Amino acid sequence: MDDTPAPGKRRRRSDARLLVPIAQRPGPLDSVLIHPAGGGLAQYLGVGGRLARHGSVHGIRADGLLAGERPDNSVSEMTGRYLPLLARRVPRPRLLVGWSLGGVIAWELAARLAVDGPAPAVVLIDSFAEQLGADDGLSAALDRRLDALSGQDAARVRATALAHLHAAARHRTRATHPAPTLLLACAGPRRREQSRHWRSRASGPLTVRDLPCGHFDVFDAPQLPYLLAHLDDFLAHLTPSVQESTP
């Protein structure tokens, strides 16, 4: 007797806990924020508030942050787990947003959703289609941010982040995406290469805007207004209905 479906069903039920409601609002744009390396969603507070002007907002956090959870260690594994959470939603999300690794996962999810339905637009916040370094400084940045945590909390965050760093280092984005995309690119030596890589994979319109800061500064108070201004402009041109919903 083949009992393969049963574990799949158990996993799909448990994976529902990874989809986190952030704002339930009427509006034309249902948005989903995808976690970066480390798995949390806290850094998206300002972005989520801005998206909530246009409709409901959810987030997908990573497995591995709570007791008894195990972090995923490949982009394909994360994409496979998160896809049913979005494909079963009615309506499906119209916008996926992700910073760093989160943008890569958002792109892969959008490409998969386009196979049997409308492709959501994507916002890539300083994401890279191909990672050349192991973590581009994320390990050191992670250690600085873990100072406020202790014990098992810090250990789980660190283990999850390291699993995600290895996943990002191994992954090469191959999928193409047909819907509008906004790439917010930070200053740095890989800026031109970053844009070229995404353009080679975009079968729909790709807008590139610069952020005058480093990768780990994009959500800091002095820098966030630049990010939000580019996001507002992208949303205003996405569809007339989104434009009309802006206060």
Residues 15-32 pLDDT 10s: 999 999 999 999 899 999
User: In this structure, how many other beta carbons lie within 10 angstroms of the beta carbon of residue 222?
Assistant: 9
Element (H, E) at 207: strand 206-211
Element (H, E) at 168: helix 151-170
Mean pLDDT confidence for 24-48: 95
Asked if residue 166 belongs to a domain, the reply is: no
The helix (run of H) or strand (run of E) holding residue 201 is helix 191-201
Structural domain contains residue 198: yes
127 and 193 in contact (C-beta within 8 Å)?
no
Cβ-contact 185, 191 below 8 angstroms:
yes
Confirm if 55 and 25 have CB atoms less than 8 A apart. Answer: yes
Distances (CA, A) of 120 to 36, 58, 98, 205: 19, 14, 13, 13
Q: Which of 169, 243, 195, 229 is nearest to 46 (CA)?
A: 229
* Domain presence at residue 138: no
Cα separations in angstroms, 187 against 18, 105, 168, 209? 32, 22, 20, 11
Which of 247 and 70 is assigned the larger pLDDT?
Answer: 70
Paired tokens of 140: 């050191």
CATH of the domain at 232: 3.40.50.1820
* Domains of the chain: total: 1
Q: Which domain holds residue 233?
A: 25-30+80-122+177-247
Kindly indicate the confidence band of residue 241, based on its pLDDT and cuts at 50, 70 and 90: very low
Q: Give a yes or no: residue 212 inside a domain.
A: yes
pLDDT at 90: 84
| CA atoms of 226 and 130, how far apart (whole Å) | 25
- The confidence band for 171, taking pLDDT boundaries of 50, 70 and 90, is very high
Give the model's pLDDT for residue 10.
Answer: 39
Between CA 93 and CA 133 the distance in angstroms is: 32
Check residue 237 and give its pLDDT. 86
Among 43-47, 163-167, 195-199, 238-242, the minimum mean pLDDT is found in 238-242
Question: Higher confidence at residue 143 or residue 34?
Answer: 34
Is 9 within a domain?
no
Sequence-separated (6 or more) residues with CB below 8 Å from residue 32: 57, 58, 59, 60, 86, 93, 95, 96, 97, 106, 120
Q: Check if the beta carbon of residue 247 is closer than 8 Å to that of residue 53.
A: yes
Rounded to an integer, the average pLDDT of 180-208 is 95
Backbone phi, psi, residue 124, to 5°: -100, 115
Kindly state the average pLDDT of the residues 46-50: 97
Rounded Cα–Cα distance for residues 168 and 37 (Å): 8
Gap between the Cα atoms of 35 and 65, Å rounded: 12
pLDDT at 188 over 90: no
For residue 135, give every residue at least 6 positions away whose Cβ sits within 8 Å of its Cβ, in sequence order, or none.
Answer: 37, 165, 168, 169
Residue 150: per-residue pLDDT:
57
